[in-house]
């Protein structure tokens, strides 16, 4: 009998490859999960409070109640993701026991460790992690992350930080491609990342894992903007269920992500959506979530 292998890097990466070109939505209960699935979401992120509420309410934000996660798993057939605090490997063990499909080690929750991120290679469940620039993305990949997303600035409905992060990563990859051996070595040493990984990025001209946009996406145009900047897909947090018509907004963002280069379709799906979530100016924020992690 041939031997089956599970939880290989290829399988962990593979699931995120299947999500490309799609939208992953934050949901706080089974009903929202069903709305997201019906709107064409390729996966849902189960969490207790969307980022804009975490921002508003303050306090320590932690992994969600397993009961709620189970209810969401029962409600939909698409993959279910859930968040753990940065470095909180026990929360990750719990999510693995729940058999979620992906774990997000997320700056949206209050960090649990100031020194170490979770050693993701030890887990069978794949991880997605946020990054603001290339070195950070590569450190997470070296720790075992199978998918990367921009951090953006979650819960603001302001896309400016996500744009900054993907542009930064793109520029850094472009400059890596011009580097010779000595430059690559120096870069790897400065960023504390394996040289092999740096060389791989140089060769591919992109991250070696799927890279989604996240943090501040509030409209179909925002989603298409990040797709045109080279993201493989989009996470939408507060942007859906904090908008005036969540079903319509969810569907419009899904269709915009599919047709991100077609301005006529973008115009059509952007019509009459009602108010998007109320945005926040980055300069007025008391807490910048993107600064969490390193």
Partner 1 sequence: MGGKKIGILAIHGDVAEHAAVLRKLKIEPIEIRAAEDFEKIEGLIIPGGESTTIYDLAKTYGLISPLRKFITTPRKNLPTTCSESCRTANHQLPTIFGTCAGLILLVKFGLLNVEIERNAYGRQLDSFEVNLNVPILGSRKFPGVFIRAPKILRVGKGVETLAEFEGTPIFIRQRNIFAASFHPELVNDIRIHKFIFGLKSPR
Inter-helix orientation angle 195-204/181-191, to 10°? 120
Q: Does 21 bind partner 1 (CB under 8 A)?
A: yes
Residue 214 C-beta: closest distance to partner 1, Å: 17
Look up 186 and say whether it is catalytic.
Answer: no
Q: What is the Cα–Cα distance from 188 to 195, expressed in whole angstroms?
A: 5
Residue 288, phi-psi category: left (phi > 0), alpha (psi -120 to 50), beta (remainder) = beta
Closest CA to 257 of 278, 228, 279: 228
- Please, which residue, 78 or 138, has the CB nearer to partner 1? 78
Residue from 27, 28, 30, 37 binding partner 1 (CB under 8 A): 37
Regarding 121 and contact with partner 1 (CB under 8 A), the answer is no
Q: What binding mask, one character per residue, do residues 57-96 give for partner 1 by CB under 8 A, x or -?
A: --------------------xxx----------------x
Catalytic residue among 12, 83, 151, 164: 83
Minimum CB distance to partner 1 smaller for 28 or for 254: 254
How many whole angstroms separate alpha carbon 241 and alpha carbon 50? Answer: 9
What gap in Å lies between CA 91 and CA 215, rounded to an integer?
A: 22
In this complex, which beta carbon is closest to partner 1, that of residue 126 or of residue 246? 126
Count of positions on this chain that bind partner 1 (CB under 8 A): 39
Nearer Cβ to partner 1 (77/190) = 77
Element (H, E) at 150: strand 147-150
State how far the Cα of 102 lies from the Cα of 248, in Å rounded to an integer.
26
Both tokens assigned to 113? 């460790």
Site track 240-279 with partner 1 (rule: CB under 8 A), x = hit: --------------xx-xxx--x-----------------
Which ranges of 130-206 does DSSP label H, i.e. alpha helix? 134-142, 160-178, 181-191, 195-204
Is residue 124 part of the contact set for partner 1 (CB under 8 A)? yes
Residues lying near partner 1 in the complex (CB under 8 A): 2-8, 10-11, 14-15, 17-22, 37, 40-43, 77-79, 96, 99, 101-102, 124-126, 233, 254-255, 257-259, 262
């Amino acid at each position: 009998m041939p031997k089956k292998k599970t939880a290989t890097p290829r399988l962990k990466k593979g699931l995120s490859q299947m999500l490309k070109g799609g939208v992953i939505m934050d949901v706080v209960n089974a009903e929202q999960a069903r709305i997201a699935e019906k709107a064409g979401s390729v996966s849902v992120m189960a969490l207790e409070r969307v980022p804009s509420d975490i921002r508003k309410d303050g306090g320590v934000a932690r992994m969600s109640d397993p009961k709620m996660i189970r209810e969401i798993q029962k409600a939909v057939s698409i993959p279910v993701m859930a968040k753990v605090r940065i470095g909180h490997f026990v929360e990750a063990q719990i999510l693995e026991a729940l058999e979620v499909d992906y774990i997000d080690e997320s700056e949206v929750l209050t960090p649990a460790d100031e020194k170490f991120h979770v050693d993701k290679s030890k887990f069978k469940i794949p991880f997605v992690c946020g990054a603001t620039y290339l070195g950070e993305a590569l450190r997470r990949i070296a720790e075992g992350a199978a998918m990367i997303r921009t951090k953006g600035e979650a819960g603001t409905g302001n896309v400016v930080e996500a744009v900054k992060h993907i542009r930064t990563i793109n520029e850094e990859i472009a400059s890596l491609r011009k580097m010779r051996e000595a430059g690559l070595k120096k870069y790897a040493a400065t960023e504390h990342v394996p040289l092999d990984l740096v060389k791989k990025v140089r060769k591919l001209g992109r991250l070696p894992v799927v890279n989604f946009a996240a943090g501040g996406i509030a409209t179909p145009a925002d989603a298409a903007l990040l797709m045109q900047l080279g993201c493989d897909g989009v996470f939408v947090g507060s942007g859906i269920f904090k908008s005036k018509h969540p079903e319509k907004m969810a569907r419009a963002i899904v269709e915009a992500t599919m047709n991100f280069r077609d301005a006529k379709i973008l115009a059509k799906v952007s019509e009459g959506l009602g108010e998007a979530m109320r945005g926040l100016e980055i300069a007025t924020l008391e807490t910048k979530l993107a600064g969490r992690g390193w």
